[in-house]
């Protein structure tokens, strides 16, 4: 898609195709939502959660941002988009599962690796990817031969750890009402890697 007209053409195809086939579902969803899974993913146009998981409308509560990051709990008067969505999902929707999904070739991860000395990163991206600072230091210190991939996985761990700083998330997890998961998607190969709870390692999901 290259223009607004392309978007509108896509909408018309949606109305005649997907919507026409699922009109009853959309009428039901018009009365409210009850997703059981929240997915925090990257804003990258190549890693669309609904496509990857073959999810129908209403099945996933999705938040997307640069590098699929969750900031730590910080109760102040600043604007907290991710935290607000997280609060709503856990406290109001009462989701059962929360997935942090990264992906290969993430631009936000690359920006973190380039460091703050690069003026092209941007005035908003720079402080945002600073959330990865400690993870980046660990990756660099490890001497990884593929720091981009290593930090993509470390970034998922960072977000999982930050999730547990939210009191309402920790309460839900401790009560057994919420499970937190990590995932990484290889765009080029269409391959999903799922984080093993016991080992912390990411394992390929067989198609």
Of 36, 46, 97, 130, which is the active-site residue? 46
Task: Give catalytic status of residue 97 as yes or no.
Answer: no
195, containing H or E segment: strand 191-195
Parallel, antiparallel, or unpaired for β 60-65 and 37-42? Answer: parallel
- Binding site per annotation, positions: 42, 44, 103, 106
Instruction: Catalogue the long-range contacts made by 181-184 (C-beta closer than 8 Å, 24 or more residues apart).
Output: 181/97, 181/98, 181/99, 181/100, 182/99, 182/100, 182/101, 182/102, 182/156, 182/157, 183/99, 183/100, 183/101, 183/102, 183/156, 184/101, 184/102, 184/103, 184/104, 184/152, 184/153, 184/156
Of 106, 136, 193, 195, which is the active-site residue? 106
Task: Give catalytic status of residue 64 as yes or no.
Answer: no
Task: Give catalytic status of residue 27 as yes or no.
Answer: no
- Binding site per annotation, positions for Zn(2+): 42, 44, 103, 106
Task: Give catalytic status of residue 106 as yes or no.
Answer: yes
User: 24 - beta bridge partners?
Assistant: none
Task: Give catalytic status of residue 44 as yes or no.
Answer: yes
Of 12, 15, 36, 44, which is the active-site residue? 44
Active-site residue list: 42, 44, 46, 103, 106
């Amino acid at each position: 898609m290259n223009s607004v007209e392309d978007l509108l053409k896509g909408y018309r195809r949606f109305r005649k195709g997907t919507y026409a086939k699922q009109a009853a579902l959309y009428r039901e969803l018009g009365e409210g939502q009850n997703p059981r899974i929240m997915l925090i993913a990257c804003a990258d146009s190549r890693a669309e959660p609904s496509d990857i998981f073959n999810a129908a409308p209403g099945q996933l509560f999705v938040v997307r941002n640069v590098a699929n990051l969750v900031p730590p709990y910080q109760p102040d008067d600043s604007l907290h988009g991710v935290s607000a969505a997280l609060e709503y999902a856990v406290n109001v929707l009462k989701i059962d599962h929360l997935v942090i999904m990264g992906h290969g070739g993430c631009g936000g991860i690359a920006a973190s690796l380039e460091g703050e000395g690069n003026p092209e990163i941007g005035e908003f991206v720079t402080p945002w990817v600073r959330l990865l600072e400690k993870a980046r230091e660990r990756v660099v210190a490890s001497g990884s031969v593929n720091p981009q991939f290593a930090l993509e996985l470390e970034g998922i761990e960072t977000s999982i750890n930050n999730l547990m700083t939210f009191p309402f998330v920790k309460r839900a997890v401790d009560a057994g009402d919420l499970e937190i998961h990590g995932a990484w998607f290889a765009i080029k190969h269409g391959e999903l890697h799922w984080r093993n709870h016991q080992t912390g390692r990411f394992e390929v999901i067989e198609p």
